[in-house]
Amino acid sequence: MLSQVVELIENRHVFGITTHVRPDGDGIGSSLGLCWLLRSLGKDAEVIVSDGIPMAYQALPGADEIVYLSEVNGKYDAVFVIECSDVSRPNIRNLEKQYVVNIDHHATCDNFGTINWIDTTASAVGEMIYNLCKAVGGRITREIAECLYLALVTDTGSFHFSNTTDRTLKVASELVKVGVKPAVISEAVYNSYPWSRIELMSRVLSTVKRDDTGRVAYMRQTMEMRESSKMADGDNNGFVNIPLAAKDVLASIYMREIGDREYRVSFRSKGSINVAKVAEQFGGGGHNNAAGCRIVGDWDESELQLVEAMVAAVADSNSDSDEPEPITGFVGTEQVNEVRPQAD
């Protein structure tokens, strides 16, 4: 809990901070924000990850100092593990042998740390790091503010998901007061993709169809599409959400060919439609409105099974209530790593 984290920071000096592989804005923004906070308190801190971070986050203060490694040694007094369902998610060897501080806002998190601070009411870990800053008597510097703002804006879909609360907006307001320019951050996050994203998007969208009820949309991405568009990792983030922009579409399925007869599948939904249950039927998992799985087999046949399962899930939720609820959960930008553990 928070008081244990505060005490740990007061008593220890050399810290590592890490997050999950294929980090999202909350993972990277919160890690860097915490790093700047620890440094402002006179501590030694560095962010360590095992793989590259998306281009959109590379402009964050401190991103150029991130250390890439696959194994951690004993040089840290403690390692903060941000937004991870388990200790293997950062893909760093020997992490479990460290003094681990687990900080997350997901209910699905294992208590794998020596200290576990889980706050499921926080919109993002970024909001928790803000609270931590206040609790340790730190000052929100411009660097901390930019990192935490990015965490908030990405995890709340620019403040339009249902996880956005008055507290989220209050924290965002405080960060803007310190000098964050929301338009600059939004531009970096949402309007800085390479053209290959647009090319790939046009090809993927050319495959989109709806089932007979018109409520479930599904689309495909072949290996050839990805290769010919020279897509970099992350260029297809968020595609699965695009069909949800149609009023009548309540759920979306995005199948990506990743090998011979092998596909990675993302699911998104609106309101009370539970796509995690759909994903579980195929060995995957995730959240109510965002989930995923891997599937092996004939493409058409697999697609048919997925669509049928999704249509059933939509019918199930209709029996609960006649009116679709407003969009909830992580629908918007694709929060790849929000979907844990198997998705995307």
Which spans of this chain sit near Mn ion (rule: CB under 5 A)? 26, 124, 155
Least distance CB 225 / Mn ion (angstroms): 29
Among residues 157 and 284, whose Cβ is nearest to Mn ion?
157
Supply the Cα-derived Rg of the chain in whole angstroms. 20
Nearest distance from C-beta of residue 235 to Mn ion, angstroms: 21
Tell the smallest beta-carbon distance from residue 177 to Mn ion (Å).
23
In the structure encoding, which two tokens stand for residue 66, read together?
């991130």
**Which H or E element spans position 263?**
strand 262-269
Coil/strand/helix, residue 291? strand
Q: Is 206 exposed, middle or buried (0-12, 13-18, 19+ CB in 10 A)?
A: exposed
Instruction: Give 124 or 150: the residue with its C-beta nearer to Mn ion.
Output: 124
28 by DSSP, 3-state: which? helix
Q: 190: which residues sit within 8 A by CB, 6+ positions away?
A: 56, 158, 333
In the block, residue with structure tokens 């004939």: 298
Nearer to Mn ion, 26 or 211 (CB): 26
**Euclidean distance between CA atoms 188 and 309, whole angstroms:** 37
CB of 26 to Mn ion, least distance (A): 3
The residue among 146 and 303 lying less far from Mn ion, judged by its C-beta, is: 146
Nearest approach, Cβ of residue 113 and Mn ion (Å) = 17
Q: Which is nearer to Mn ion, 138 or 329 (CB)?
A: 329
Residue number of the CB closest to Mn ion reads 26
Q: Judge contact between 113 and 81, C-beta under 8 A.
A: yes
Q: Are 178 and 147 in contact (CB under 8 A)?
A: no
- C-alpha 56/C-alpha 237 separation (Å) is 12
DSSP code for 71 = B
Cβ-based nearer residue to Mn ion, 278 or 290 = 290
Count the helices and strands in the chain (H runs, E runs): 10, 12
Least distance between Mn ion and beta carbon 154 (Å): 8
**Beta carbon nearer to Mn ion, 26 or 334:** 26
Nearest distance in Å: CB 186, Mn ion: 18
DSSP symbol at 244: G
Length of the chain in terms of residues written: 344
